[in-house]
Structure 1
Amino acid sequence: MTMAIDRPEKLSGLTGGQGITRMVGVGTASSADVFTQDRLLELLEIEDPRIRSVFLNSAIDTRHLTLPPEGPGGVRVAEPQGDLLDKHKKLAVEMGGQALQACLKSIGASLSDVRHLCCVTSTGFLTPGLSALIIRDLGLDPHTSRSDIVGMGCNAGLNALGVVSGWSAAHPGDLAIVLCAEACSAAYALDGTMRTAVVNSLFGDGAAALALVNGEWEGNGDGTTEIAPVGPRILKFASYIITDALDAMRYDWDRDQDRFSFFLDPQIPYVVGAHAEIVIDRLLAGTGLRRSDIGHWLVHSGGKKVIDAVVVNLGLSRHDVRHTVGVLRDYGNVSSGSFLFSYERLLEERIAEPGDYGVLMTMGPGSQIEMALIQW
């Protein structure tokens, strides 16, 4: 006897969508101390005009950072790698917990509703992983399944979204969380070189949590029943690794400094921009959509030159990347969670309407470009 098996429609037309995973809530958090670029130059006693120019022409006004303690004479001294790892652990757990609870609050959920937690971080290494620490410290159900994505860098939020979308498809009705927690203060190296100046001028501390559910979610963690707000459906992903630029963005061991140090090739914004068109074409292939059909663009706040390169190569307007630019201005590059900071701002505008399409775009080490197509 042969049984008929219902299969989901192909993406063509992008209609229907029962059981497709949705993004139903978001929350963000940052470390406590906020600094302007001018104030950082003063505190770090940076006098080199070339380095000062990098800070002051970054399109960044403020960032959340946890600076090294003051040494003799009030000078900020570089921290050994062990102290940086401790800083990463403390900040990632604190910010991650705050972002997670803010996300749950946005949909009327409680910690006991979480069934899967995927944590993303690249600013430190932890075993058994940030997810285990969050589950223990916040008191999540010990039956909560977990996953950790480590070391993939700024693009990793969308890598996690792809993984957890698959988990959600296998667990309809269960609440899953993607949590990006990046303690970029734990990746600082103060050595006065241009290499570290580029990094030190750009990155900030931040965490962002995204709630996902396949179908309808009914949360009853506080004794009530809530139906999660209708959020955009996740329709399709596209990835591209620029293997010729494998070493253009990396976080590796600096033997001179005796610690890990992040490296950004000055040409990487133009390399990423030049390849963005390849990925968007693949993302929209077979959907019947054109770029002009995309109403909302949520691009990683990788830096002024990165944003400009993407705008030029994809033919976007400044309005399209207003949230990307705003997040860079107010937080700097918060690595894997940056696009979720922009998504939160889009939701606060309340302008997305049913049927609208959006594109999420991240980029990072690899060099890697990730995109996702969503629809409200």
Structure 2
Amino acid sequence: MSYITAIETAVPENCFSQDILSTFYMNSTDDETYKRKIKIVSAKTGIENRYSVVGDFEENVKEIELFDQSTDREPGLSERMQVYKKYATELSIKAIEKIPDFHQRKDQITHLITVTCTGLFAPGLDIELIRDLDLNPATQRSSVNFMGCNAAIIALKNADAICRSQADANVLVVCTELCTIHFQKRFNDDYLLSNLIFGDGAAAVILSSQPQEEYSEKKVQVNRFDSMILHNGYRDMAWQLSETGFIMNLTSYVPGLIKENILPMLDKIRLSPSSIAYWAIHPGGKKIVDDFATALDLDKSLLSETYDVLRNFGNMSSPTVLFVLKSVLKKADRAELGEKIFAAAFGPGLSIETMQLQYV
């Protein structure tokens, strides 16, 4: 079997209110229609704060790293990747070192899986972490790259397979995304959404083939994973490279597609929503979460951790569902043995990835 034996999260030092970030966006255009749309969309996001590795969004910032409002020039892809390389390892380590007794546990790490879709370099984040954390240089490593918001569950699926095949496995999964370095001075509907919901964050999880009771009051066992690709949403969530950075496609049709398909997906795997005690749902956007609750006839209070993460951090892509799961697992002292947890996240394709866990 496999068990979650640690889960921690981290965000950069720069915390910006949604008002500050939407004002920055509005100040990048003189078009009053765009300004009005930005203000309206921002107010509907359900987000109060987001974090960024760069301080450029603050007024009168002392040192500009990427986004200079005094010029119309957009930073290029290489500039954005330099900023990614500068901060990604640091933010990853910030999450990892929150794991209780990590430096005593690190010699037990057998595998490392890194996850990101917001930047790439080589030698990559995996080697940087092995070097900077002084992990065993024989640690087996792999990466899940450019798979979007549901990549954490894909990585955990890979970690679960390792744990089920190796009796002493301890797999460190690290998800790190610097979404804000891809801000674009674009004003179509895709960017009205993406510029106003994404933030930066990292999460670290240890999945183990044996439970480690000294690190948790109750054991959290991973039971199964399921996937579904909605081909009619192929163009509704996408992520493309360009000379000026990453180009986002994120249409308003995504919530409806999830709403129409999530219950049939659960029916297909013979899972009744009433059998689930706790829900860890990726907050891709407020409308997505609202429609998810409606589709399964769930009281929104059951998704309180999802709404809280959205409000306090925005959508950080891959680590976001782990922020939610960490919050859900904080309730372990109230959980009954046998109660189930259901996690789901949504990514390009349009794809749905789910994970079922249980207190044992």
Given the two structures, how large is their TM-score scaled by the length of structure 2? 0.89
Residues 77 and 242, structure 2, Cα contact 8 Å, conserved in 1: no
1:200 to 180, 191, 195: 195
Q: Does 1:238 align with 2:220?
A: no
Question: Partner letter of residue 200 of structure 2?
Answer: D
User: C-alpha deviations, 1:237-266, integer Å up to 9, x for none?
Assistant: 1100011211211111346xx332111011
TM-superposed CA distance for 1:197, in Å, is 2.5
Deviates more, 1:341-350 or 1:54-63: 341-350
User: 1:12 matched to which residue of 2?
Assistant: none
CA distance in 1, matches of 2:335, 2:79: 44
1:329 to 311, 326, 338: 311
CA distance in 2, matches of 1:37, 1:302: 16
User: 1:341 matched to which residue of 2?
Assistant: 323
TM-superposed CA distance for 1:186, in Å, is 2.3
User: 2:209 matched to which residue of 1?
Assistant: 214
User: 1:360 matched to which residue of 2?
Assistant: 343
Residues 24 and 230, structure 1, Cα contact 8 Å, conserved in 2: no
Residues 104 and 111, structure 1, Cα contact 8 Å, conserved in 2: no
Question: Partner letter of residue 56 of structure 1?
Answer: A
Q: Does 1:31 align with 2:26?
A: no
CA distance in 1, matches of 2:73, 2:133: 33
SS at the partner of 1:59? coil
Question: Partner letter of residue 327 of structure 1?
Answer: V
Question: Partner letter of residue 245 of structure 2?
Answer: R
CA distance in 2, matches of 1:192, 1:267: 18
User: 2:86 matched to which residue of 1?
Assistant: 90
CA distance in 2, matches of 1:175, 1:190: 43
RMSD: 2.2
Distance 1:109 1:339, change over 3 A: farther
CA distance in 2, matches of 1:215, 1:195: 44
User: C-alpha deviations, 1:178-232, integer Å up to 9, x for none?
Assistant: 11111112222123444322111000001111111112459xxxxxxx6766431
Residues 175 and 217, structure 1, Cα contact 8 Å, conserved in 2: no
Percent identity of paired positions between Structure 1 and Structure 2 = 28
Question: Partner letter of residue 226 of structure 2?
Answer: A
Alignment of 1:51-66 (within 5 A): 51-65=38-52, 66=54
Question: Partner letter of residue 276 of structure 1?
Answer: I
Q: Which runs of 5+ in 1 are unaligned?
A: 1-19, 219-225
User: 2:294 matched to which residue of 1?
Assistant: 312
Alignment of 1:1-376 (within 5 A): 20-44=1-25, 45=27, 48-65=35-52, 66-68=54-56, 69=64, 78-105=74-101, 109-217=104-212, 230-254=218-242, 258-283=244-269, 285=270, 290-349=272-331, 350-376=333-359
CA distance in 1, matches of 2:68, 2:358: 56
TM-superposed CA distance for 1:173, in Å, is 2.7
Question: Partner letter of residue 38 of structure 1?
Answer: D
Distance 1:28 1:77, change over 3 A: farther
User: 1:17 matched to which residue of 2?
Assistant: none
CA distance in 2, matches of 1:368, 1:331: 23
- Structure 1 outlier segments of 4+, above 4 Å: 70-77, 226-230
Distance 1:109 1:295, change over 3 A: farther
Residues 64 and 204, structure 1, Cα contact 8 Å, conserved in 2: yes
Residues 101 and 111, structure 1, Cα contact 8 Å, conserved in 2: no
Residues 100 and 215, structure 2, Cα contact 8 Å, conserved in 1: no
Question: Partner letter of residue 337 of structure 1?
Answer: P
SS at the partner of 2:252? coil
User: C-alpha deviations, 1:251-305, integer Å up to 9, x for none?
Assistant: 11346xx33211101111111221111222234x2xxx63212100100011001
Residues 122 and 150, structure 1, Cα contact 8 Å, conserved in 2: yes
CA distance in 2, matches of 1:73, 1:203: 20
Q: Which runs of 5+ in 2 are unaligned?
A: 57-63
